[in-house]
Amino acid sequence: MKKIPVALQLYSVRGDTATDFAGTVAAVAKMGYTGVELAGYGNLDAKGAKAALDAAGLKVSGAHFGINALRGDFDTVVNDSLLLGTREVICPWWFPGQYLSAASCSRIGEELGEIGAKLRAFGLKLSFHNHAAELAIVEGRPAFEWLLSAAAPRDLSAELDVYWAHVGGVPPEKFLRDHGARVRLLHLKDAKEIGLGPVDFTKVFATAESIGAVEWYVVEQEWYNHAPMESVRRCIEQLKAWDKA
């Protein structure tokens, strides 16, 4: 079976990209990452980031844009995504205090679906990235399920964060079994470095690969045992040891 390529969410090394985006992505490429997922451009603009990524030989697996940008700066979202050569737009967060009821969660899903439909006209696709709050039970089911069920699959996908699913009480392999056809981007996270936390990656990989929808594994690091660049290097080395990179 063909390996799923591995990208790094550059939020993981945001301190490094803030001062030297080009040098950071060059180092990331040397570690063995195939691509990056963007959350801003560090000390560059979109055009400069594109040049730096091209020089490093890295693809853009996707880009995070907050809901304010999706609502109020839509043209920039579209133009940057097309410039960067990615079709994947990801909304990375929603205020958890709005997950009050099935109806309120559904309204969020409807809005995201409307944005996704607009993006689709430009050849782009929208995903929503979860944290633990989206797995909280609201009127009998996780908030994330209300969001997804309120939008057509072609307009809204899920970027499942396996660690936050685990923290939220839903085994990530269960979410994948239930919704895996809508997961093209899978966030690999394990508290600190991959393989040192609570996530059962054997089950995650087996389930994701049996469904066959995942196009990118995306490493994200939020807490560190080491300097951020060393932590993300250790993550890719663990994936290599598992024959996943």
Rounded CA gap, 228 and 33, in Å?
A: 15
Give the pLDDT of residue 156: 98
129: domain CATH number is 3.20.20.150
User: Is 117 exposed, middle or buried, given 0-12, 13-18 or 19+ CB atoms closer than 10 A?
Assistant: middle
Residue 187: pLDDT band (50, 70, 90) is: very high
Give the pLDDT of residue 22: 98
Residue 123 within any structural domain of the chain? yes
Residue 45 within any structural domain of the chain? yes
Residue 235 within any structural domain of the chain? yes
The mean pLDDT of 23-40, rounded to a whole number, is 98
Residue 153 within any structural domain of the chain? yes
| Count of C-beta atoms within a 10 Å radius of residue 243 | 8
Residue 170: name the closest of 196, 195, 207 by CA: 207
Domain tally, the chain: 1
Residues 80-136 have pLDDT tens digits of: 999 999 999 999 999 999 999 999 999 999 999 999 999 999 999 999 999 999 999
Give the pLDDT of residue 25: 98
Taking the alpha carbons at both ends of the chain, their separation in whole angstroms is: 13
Rounded CA gap, 164 and 133, in Å?
A: 9
Rounded CA gap, 174 and 240, in Å?
A: 25
Residues 48-71 have pLDDT tens digits of: 999 999 999 999 999 999 999 999
Residue 1 within any structural domain of the chain? no
The continuous run of DSSP H or E covering 227 comes out as none
Residue 89 within any structural domain of the chain? yes
Q: Could you list the residue range(s) of the whole structural domain that residue 151 is in? A: 6-241
With vertex at residue 133, the alpha carbon angle to CA 131 and CA 138, rounded to the nearest 5 degrees, is 140
CA distances from 57 to 53, 60, 122, 194 (A): 6, 10, 25, 24
Give the pLDDT of residue 2: 83
Residue 62 within any structural domain of the chain? yes
Residue 78 within any structural domain of the chain? yes
Interacting residues of 240 by C-beta distance below 8 A, sequence separation 6+: 32
Residue 147: pLDDT band (50, 70, 90) is: very high
